[in-house]
Amino acid sequence: MKTVYVDNNATTSVMSEVIEAMMPYFTESFYNPSAISGRADGVDASIARARRTIVEFLGASDTKEVTFTSCATESNNWAIFGTARANPERRHIITSTIEHPAVLEVCKSLCKIDYDVTFLSVDSDGNLNVDELMDSIRPNTLLVTLMAANNETGVIFPVDRLSAVVKERDSNITFHTDATQYVGKLPVDLNRDFEHIDLMSFSGHKIHGPKGVGGLFIRKGTSLTPLLYGGNQESGRRSGTENVHGIIGLAKACELASSNIENMQSIEVLRNQLEKELLKLFPSALVNGAKANRLPNTLNIAFKDIDGETLLHQLSQYGVYASNGSACSTGSLNYSHVLSAMEVPYDYIAGSIRFSFSRLNSLEDVKAIVETMKQIKEEIQK
Ligand code: PLP
């Protein structure tokens, strides 16, 4: 049975070029980059090259602005805890109700130690209200942390504009964005449209790179204490022996993403085609975030009075791998916090499915999904 993998917002397959680039760092170049030997110097130089590639890919100015982490969860934790520790006099944080748990849970944990957190609501399309954001700024606001794109619906927050208005109000507020789903799908230029963003999280495994490696962009001049203390790797910002093969793989994945970013239009064609066909097949279905600006690869569609979990199992029996949203909350009986925040009607929320494409998908995959859904529809109607 041919499988169709359309759960790329959960994770992507590692490109063969990425594996090839990583391989030597498991074998002949396994050295600890901090060791004192010519061979270790070679590994250190490879990390420096990888960092330069990523800095260029993100449009940052300085190699000192990118620090490697183990994943976007770590980057988000670091951005928030590190900002809080570096600026203890300010104790108010602004975020949204639809952030990934790697932001939400960190904010909630700070509430327990006397921080005030404003959780901004979204409308039924998943959009933020800019006035609500501006009204929530206080004299002691420390940090605004808003995602660049939502993992479940693909809805894009205009963090370029939001960071500009926040900074205009108070340039001492730190602006962090969790760009885990945005990077690699849409162009990022930290010196142009994202010029007001101080901190930005990203992850390797969402862009056809390896798992276990990510990064945090830290704009020059941003005050942030480390999360991990120890042997002073990463210029003292993030201790721990570098994940050398992971870093090399991440850089290769960025390089490939950079040359493929224009192809996102063809991914959007696939997404739009699937959306059209499914709405034809299930006329009562709704697209979550339909009227919002969305990532080109993501379709979150809600089927009325259908159990999404059952539908996902049926799809996987036919070899179609989709998701009900956040991989991290799969297995829990709670409905998606994102769709709940968007007030998706009760008879739809349980039937919401996410299809997320990558550049490895084709029109054949769309046809296979539609055919499978036709069969499932017949089974439901029996
Ligand atoms: N932030 C967002 C928006 C995500 O979609 C994810 C993963 O799904 C994460 C953070 C966590 O990423 P990682 O798996 O690299 O920790």
Residue 343 clears pLDDT 50, i.e. is over it: yes
Ligand 1 center from residue 374 Cα (angstroms): 32
pLDDT digit string (tens) for 232-279? 999 999 999 999 999 999 999 999 999 998 889 999 999 999 999 999
pLDDT band, very low/low/confident/very high, at 40 (cuts 50, 70, 90): confident
Domains and CATH numbers, the chain: 4-12+262-381 (3.90.1150.10), 16-260 (3.40.640.10)
Q: Which residue's CA lies nearest to atom 7 of ligand 1? A: 10
Question: For residue 295, which phi and psi values (nearest 5 degrees)?
Answer: -60, 145
Mutate to test the pocket of ligand 1, among 203, 294, 328 (most ligand atoms within 8 A of CB): 203
Strand pairing class (214-218; 199-203) = antiparallel
Q: Model-level pTM?
A: 0.96
Ligand 1 center from residue 179 Cα (angstroms): 9
* Ligand 1 atom nearest residue 326's Cα: 8
Residue 325 clears pLDDT 80, i.e. is over it: no
In 87-127, which ranges are continuous DSSP H helix? 101-111
pLDDT digit string (tens) for 214-241? 999 999 999 999 999 999 999 999 999 9
Instruction: Tell whether ligand 1 has an atom less than 6 A from the beta carbon of residue 306.
Output: no
CA 349/CA 353 separation, integer angstroms:
9
CA 295/CA 263 separation, integer angstroms:
13
Residue 86 clears pLDDT 60, i.e. is over it: yes
CA 304/CA 351 separation, integer angstroms:
6
Interior angle at CA 95, CA 198 and CA 227, nearest 5 = 55
Angle subtended by helix axes 363-381 and 308-317, to nearest 10? 120
178 sits in which H/E element? strand 174-178
Structure tokens of 49?
């090259």
Ligand 1 center from residue 76 Cα (angstroms): 9
Instruction: Tell whether ligand 1 has an atom less than 6 A from the beta carbon of residue 128.
Output: no
Q: Which amino acid is at 79?
A: A
Residue 331 clears pLDDT 50, i.e. is over it: no
Supply the DSSP symbol for 323: B
CA 126/CA 107 separation, integer angstroms:
20
Active site (catalytic) residues: 328
Count of CA atoms in the C-beta half-sphere (13 A) of 273: 17
Question: For residue 5, which phi and psi values (nearest 5 degrees)?
Answer: -95, 110
pLDDT band, very low/low/confident/very high, at 2 (cuts 50, 70, 90): confident
Query: If you search the block for the tokens 């109607």, which residue do you land on?
Result: 381
Supply the DSSP symbol for 154: -
Question: For residue 200, which phi and psi values (nearest 5 degrees)?
Answer: -145, 125
Residue 12 burial class via C-beta count within 10 angstroms: exposed 0-12, middle 13-18, buried 19 and up: buried
Ligand 1 center from residue 368 Cα (angstroms): 28
